[in-house]
Chain A
Amino acid sequence: MTTVSEHAPNPAAGDPSRPIGFGRIQRKEDPRFVRGRGNYVDDIVLPGMLHGAILRAPVAHARLLSIDASEALAHPKVVAVITGKDLEALNLAWAPTLSADVQAVLVTDKVRFQGQEVAFVVAEDRYAARDALELINVDYEFLPPVIDARKALDDGAPVIRDDLPGRTDNHIFDWEAGDAAETDAIFASADVVVAQELVYPRVHPAPMETCGAVADYDTVDGRLTLYETTQAPHAHRTLYAMVAGIPEHKIRVVSPDIGGGFGNKVGIYPGYILAVVGSIVTGKPVKWVEDRSENLMSTSFARDYIMQGEIAATKEGRILALRTNVLADHGAFNATAQPTKNPAGFFHIFTGSYDLAAAHCKVTGVYTNKAPGGVAYACSFRVTEAVYLVERMVDILARKLEMDPAELRLKNFIKPEQFPYANKTGWVYDSGNYEPAMRLSMEMAGYDELRREQKEKRERGELMGIGISFFTETVGAGPRKHFDIVGLGMADGAELRIHPTGKAVVRISVQSQGQGHETTFAQIVAEELGIPPEDIDVVHGDTDQTPFGLGTYGSRSTPVSGGAVAMVSRKVRDKARFIAAAMLETRAEDLEWEKGRWFVKGDPSAGKTISEIALGAHGTLTLPDGVDGNLDAEVTYDPPNLTFPFGAYICVVDIDPGTGHVKVRRFIAVDDCGTRINPMIIEGQVHGGLTDGVGMALMEMISFDEDGNCLSGSFMDYLIPTAMEVPDWETGFTVTPSPHHPIGAKGIGESATVGSPPAVVNAIVDALAPYGVTHMDMPCTPARVWEAMQGRTRPPV
């Protein structure tokens, strides 16, 4: 077996053991974490701080008749109880979502999902706040719920959102991309057409740290400091200003260390707003941190797409066209966080890595009596669903054509010379070179040998499957003229200061939840300016200290903020050239750059390092006209296009024919994220995403009974892979830089989550071929696999 070392030094790194710039270095944030010195929201304790707890609705759909909080208020440690009526008086009962809808902060009229926020207790300690919840009496009139998205648009279905004027049904939007007529024409004349319904179940990001906030409102100067688990502190600040009417310059949002996000911490949850209201009402800081059940039952889920997929091809295996109709379950409020013009996110990248003649997709969004959201879970704005669709359909086609799935893919890839490639739904792929990645993954896997082994095992009645997935992602939103969230263009700022002694601080607008921004961004500055990463501090997560930008989700930190950091470094470098020229008494155009210093062309001994130039800038030297006495700069980076990372994944599974238990024996992942900044961090991002993918494929699902009771409200019921369920990942890479990104980097955070589920499912379906199984929906739990073996596949509920 060939292994490809992730630790190979990047040629750009110079001394690979201690690179100044790109290469494998230890993370700068780790010393505090290994000492238990991280600072997460629940670690924050302010003087006089009170504790909040939320009373949640026990049913999915009910009219609220009355709330009696008198007993709770009589509790000696309870300071306040806030209900929807109180919020109505403050005009805060409803808050805008990130998708042009509104969401109830506390129920005023009707409960719309189980676990919805009904009342907020503020007490002296966390135990008392919880105790008091049980002292609140609420009367409900139960209503029939809409749980199955397929029935949401039925005539006579209960109307969930009767709060919206003129609403008579549960329809949210219809959205389409591609050319329907052109696509239909190709389908009508194609040799081979296969169709399959694919259900991508509702799953949950479930970061190990739940969501929470500490709100500190200063009643004297009207200033709000809000410590929050947020991936997008600046966007939150603007929204709080809009919602609460607190002037934006009086709001400071601090996102300290975040214990995992995966999209869960993009939205603004009622709990955050309630902590703010609690602090305003009591005049004291208020902490609210949800428990695990609240996290799983009420914060944003991901997926929940029912997709009718169809693929058309010639009988020789040339793929011609793809089309799909999707029913998207958005829950009780449309609280997804997609760019305004893209209610289904970037789902229209569903043409994948293939050169198609036509494609068309239509997505219909509906309300149901389930938790709102659909934000994410490492989804790159619905690319996860798109990749699952195309990669399953291609495998189903391969089966139909009796072709090897690797061969079918190789035959249909977009060719390297076709890039930049305009697909049929409006994307322009920046760069790609798919075949080498596919071939590398096959070589690492020993693909032919695996197929031989499978053949032998099949003869012995053993179930072994090999699954392939080849994905193309679209990340880094992103040109602001096309993409915005509630009107805020998706750009990011960076600000760089070089202190007189040559040490640097770079301030960024994106927020790490474990991705290692303090290291990666220092390495970008290091690469551009030749300052060692240990001499560069990265400041993030505090709106008072960082420039505006839209935050971290959709793998946008490196594509957007990374671009900003490279550009601001270059701005400093350009300025340094003029200062160096003054110091060297020469003309700027006579200077040449090498990593870390400007020197005189033809006389390398005459030069000034960045550190010397910084001192010069702040010293007594007479500076050229128009050059300020500092070595600082700031930029806002608006990317010219998205970036399109890709990868080739191969999964090998063994299935126990007696129990249906799936064991992921091997997983080979070849990723191409363009220029690689820190291979160690990249590998970590891939490993984490693969684990998410295996979790979704095998065990994760937020399910409901027909009354709308959430059946997955704890880690007993919502299963997440442990070290026992995942293999030792085998990773490799190719490098195809982005032509438009300042350093050629593309983003990696979600690639593996996007790419791995179809590889696992393809492997399982492949293993079950002797049973005639051509498709099964996730999660492939032992019971569901066993049922599939008995010829009873059914969509998950």
Chain B
Amino acid sequence: MRMNGGEVTRDVEPRVLLVHYIRDVLGLTGTHWGCDTSNCGTCVVLMDGEPVKSCTVLAAMAAGHDIRTVEGLANGATLDPVQQGFMEEHGLQCGFCTPGMMLTARALLDRNPDPDDAEIRQAISGQICRCTGYATIVRSVKWAAKNPLGTDSGTGAAEPGDTPATEDVKA
């Protein structure tokens, strides 16, 4: 599969969930899980640009597809406007649901650059946040919609080597 723009290939047991593959096999721990029974949306990643709950996808089913996780949101040192928006508008507290929320927001903005409150709420309605009460998440997405290029200083204190994961491994 393509993972955040790079090809990855691994042999896995047929039953391995995509979320476990991403976290345990590839070591990309930015994708979290909160139930692994498809009820909470914590594990959302983008598959071919569409949000999916990665606990409902078998790793093997994702073969040949394009997967994007939170590690693939920033462009090097520059954060995606969605990431900036979440910081500007306090769209996160514990940060656990945040990667999934931001990826859903990215997918929404890609198909609807100027969503209203109801459209944003609808888009994230399959994902639970226990901390924020959602209003600040809605504001965060609107911030990103209003600032499609982000801000110049939007690096969020980037760390060196913070680039999307790309690797080329053959099992």
Nearest Cβ on chain A to B37's Cβ, whole angstroms: 6
Is B98 a contact of A292 with CB atoms below 8 Å?
A: no
Q: Is there contact, CB below 8 Å, between A292 and B128? A: no
Residues of B within 8 A of A605 (CB): none
A36 contacts the other chain (CB 8 A): yes
Q: Are A687 and B135 in contact (CB under 8 A)?
A: yes
Give the segment of B26-34, B56-64, B107-115 that binds chain A: B26-34
Say if the beta carbon of A291 comes within 8 Å of chain B: yes
A contact residues around B71 at 8 Å (CB): 35-36
Which one, B120, B136, B162, contacts A35 given CB within 8 A?
A: B162
Verify if B74 is at the interface (C-beta below 8 Å from A): yes
Interchain CB contact under 8 A, A31 and B35: no
- Residue A43 is within 8 A (CB to CB) of chain B in the complex: yes
Q: Chain A residue with minimal CB distance to B140?
A: A34
Given A688-B130, A691-B134; A36-B29 close (CB under 8 Å): yes
Partner-contacting stretch, out of A183-191, A450-458, A723-731:
A723-731
- Known interface pairs A35-B70, A728-B135. Does A209 touch B96 (Cβ–Cβ under 8 Å)? yes
Say whether A36 contacts B30, CB under 8 Å.
yes
On chain B, the residues within 8 Å of A714 by CB distance are: 35, 37, 39
Q: Which of A43, A262, A291, A690 contacts B29 (CB 8 A)?
A: A43
Majority secondary structure of chain A interface residues (helix, strand, loop or mixed): loop
Question: Does A26 make an interface contact (CB < 8 A)?
Answer: yes
Q: How far is the CA of A26 from the CA of B138 in the complex (A)?
A: 17
- Is B125 in contact with chain A by the CB < 8 A criterion? yes
Q: Which residues of A contact B156 (CB under 8 A)?
A: 30-31, 34-35
Closest A residue to B71 by beta carbon equals: A36
Is the Cβ of A209 less than 8 Å from the Cβ of B32?
A: yes
Q: Is A27 an interface residue (CB 8 A)?
A: yes
Is A8 an interface position by the 8 A CB rule?
no
| A684 cross-chain contacts in B, Cβ below 8 A | 90, 93, 131-133, 136
Q: Is A522 an interface residue (CB 8 A)?
A: no
Q: Are A723 and B125 in contact (CB under 8 A)?
A: yes
B74 pairs with A35, CB closer than 8 A: yes
A210 interface contact, C-beta 8 A: yes
Residues 119 to 171 of chain B near chain A (Cβ within 8 Å): 120-122, 124-138, 156-159, 162
A258 closest partner in B (C-beta): B94
B94 contacts A260, C-beta separation under 8 Å: yes
A699 within 8 A of partner (CB): no
State whether the Cβ of B66 lies closer than 8 Å to any Cβ in chain A.
no
Residues from chain A with a CB closer than 8 A to the CB of B6 are none
B133/A514 in contact, CB under 8 A: no
Query: What B residues does A33 contact at CB under 8 A?
Result: 92, 95, 98
- Mark each residue of chain B from 78 to 102: 1 if its CB lies under 8 Å from any CB of chain A, else 0: 0100010011101011111111001
A257 within 8 A of B: yes
> A73 CA to B158 CA in the complex, in Å?
48
Q: How distant is the Cα of A209 from the Cα of B122 in the complex, in angstroms? A: 23
Q: Does B50 contact A (CB under 8 A)?
A: no
Chain A interfacial residues counted at CB < 8 A:
56
A45–B26 alpha-carbon span in the complex (Å): 12
A729 CA to B137 CA, complexed, in Å: 12
Quick one: which of B30, B39, B93, B136 contacts A716, CB cutoff 8 A? B39
Specify which chain B residues have a CB less than 8 angstroms from the CB of A689 in the assembled complex.
133
Among A42, A257, A291, the residue within 8 A (CB) of B35 is: A291
In angstroms, how far is the closest chain B Cβ from the Cβ of A507? 21
CA distance A503 to B35 in the complex (A): 42
Q: Are A127 and B13 in contact (CB under 8 A)?
A: yes
B54 at the A interface (CB under 8 A) = no
Is A178's beta carbon under 8 Å from chain B?
Answer: no
A681: interface (CB < 8 Å): yes
The answer to whether A206 and B130 touch (CB under 8 A), given A36-B29, A36-B30, A292-B39, is yes
Interface membership of B40, Cβ < 8 A: yes
The reply to whether the CB of A500 lies closer than 8 angstroms to some CB of chain B is no
CB distance from A53 to the nearest CB of B (A): 13
Is the beta-carbon distance between B132 and A688 smaller than 8 angstroms? yes
Q: Knowing A723-B121, A726-B133, A728-B135 touch, does A514 contact B93 (C-beta < 8 A)?
A: yes
The CA-CA distance from A686 to B69 in the complex, in Å, is 30
Task: Flag whether A413 is at the interface (Cβ < 8 A).
Answer: no
Judge whether B36 is part of the interface by a CB distance below 8 angstroms. Answer: yes
In the assembled complex, which residues on chain A have CB atoms less than 8 Å from the CB atom of B48? Answer: none
Q: Report chain A residues within 8 Å CB of B20.
A: 126
In the docked arrangement, what's the CA distance between A127 and B17, Å? 11
Residues of A within 8 A of B69 (CB): 36
Contacting pair A260 B92 (CB below 8 A): no
> Are B31 and A36 interface neighbours, CB within 8 A?
yes
* Contact among A37, A206, A688, A722 for B93, CB-based, below 8 A: A688
Q: What residue of chain A has the Cβ atom nearest to residue B92's Cβ?
A: A33
| A345 at the B interface (CB under 8 A) | no
8 pairs, CB–CB < 8 Å, chain A vs chain B:
A30-B87, A42-B32, A43-B29, A127-B16, A262-B130, A292-B35, A687-B136, A722-B127
Nearest 4 A-B pairs (CB), nearest first?
Answer: A36-B30, A514-B94, A687-B133, A33-B95
List 13 additional A-B contacts (Cβ < 8 Å) besides A259-B95, A728-B135. A34-B70, A34-B86, A36-B99, A40-B96, A209-B32, A259-B94, A292-B39, A514-B93, A687-B133, A688-B132, A722-B128, A723-B120, A726-B134
| Interface residue ranges, A against B (CB under 8 Å) | 26-27, 29-40, 42-43, 45, 126-127, 206-210, 257-260, 262, 291-292, 513-516, 680-681, 683-684, 686-692, 714-716, 720, 722-724, 726, 728-729
Q: Which B residues are within 8 Å of any A CB, using their own CB?
A: 13, 15-16, 20, 23-24, 27-37, 39-40, 42, 69-71, 73-74, 79, 83, 86-88, 90, 92-99, 102, 117, 120-122, 124-138, 156-159, 162
